[in-house]
Amino acid sequence: MAFVSDSYHSPKLELRRVNHREVGVFATRAIRKGEVLTISGGVVVPRRKVWTLPRGFRRFCFYIEHGYYLAPSSRRRIGLGFYMNHSCAPNAGDQRGELALTAVALRAIRKGEEITCDYRPALDGDDTQYRPLLRFRCRCGSRRCAGLIRA
Ligand SMILES: [Zn+2]
C-alpha cells in the first residue's frame, strides 16, 4: 500500500491486517514516549458535507472542532494516521490522548504493539453541531472501557 505526500508517519509504523475485514497500525520497532507517530494532512470539511461522502470513506473523517472535520485528501491517499483504531486506553494521540492531527506516543510502545487513539472527541461550547459519524461497541478490554463509542 502506498502513502502519501500530505501526511507523515514514523518509519517505525506499518499497516497490518487485524482480521479479515479490518486493518490497524502497528509498531515495527520500539517507540519512546513522546515520539511523533503521525501527522495527518487532509481537507477540512464542514459537517453537512461529511454526510454526503460515501460511508466507507466517512469513517476516515475525524472531528476537529466547531463543526469541522478532517478528511483525507482523496480516497487514494489516506495517511496512516487515519487508520489508527480506537481504544479507551490509547497509546497514541495528542497530549490528552485524543485523536489529533499530530499523534505522539503517550507512553513507551513495544515492537509489535498496535497503535491506538481515543476517537471520542473533546467537545467544547462551539460544538453544538456535533453528530457522531461512527457508533460501535468497543472491545479494547480496558478497565475504563466506555462500551458504546460515538465518534
Ligand atoms: Zn474501550
Domain of residue 32, CATH code = 2.170.270.10
4 pLDDT above the threshold of 60: no
CA 93 – ligand 1 centroid, Å: 15
Q: How far is the CA of 140 from the centre of ligand 1 (A)?
A: 4
Domain contains 88 = yes
Centre of ligand 1 to C-alpha 5, Å, is 32
Asked whether 100 and 94 are in contact (CB, 8 A), the reply is yes
Give residue-wise pLDDT tens across range 105-145. 999 999 999 999 999 988 888 888 888 988 999 999 999 99
Summarised one tens digit per residue, pLDDT across range 45-86 is: 999 999 999 988 998 998 888 899 999 988 887 899 999 999
The number of C-alpha atoms within 13 Å of 95 and in the hemisphere containing its C-beta is 0
Answer yes or no: is 1 within a domain: no
Q: Output the nine-digit C-alpha cell for 83.
A: 487508520
pLDDT digits (tens, 9 = 90+) for 81-101: 999 999 999 999 986 666 668
Strands (E), 1-151: 8-9, 13-17, 23-27, 36-39, 43-46, 62-65, 68-71, 85-86, 92-93, 102-105, 114-117, 135-137, 148-150
> How many structural domains are present in the chain?
1
Instruction: Residue 94: name the closest of 65, 68, 56 by CA.
Output: 65
Of the CA atoms within 13 Å of residue 138, those in its CB half-sphere come to 24
- Tell me how far the alpha carbon of residue 92 lies from the centroid of ligand 1, in angstroms: 14
Q: Is residue 16 part of a domain?
A: yes
CA of 70 to the centre of ligand 1 (A): 23
Q: What is the domain extent for residue 78?
A: 8-150
Residue 3 lies in a domain: no
- 136 CA distance to ligand 1 middle (Å): 10
Residue 2 lies in a domain: no
Chain centre to alpha carbon of residue 63 = 10
CA of 148 to the centre of ligand 1 (A): 8
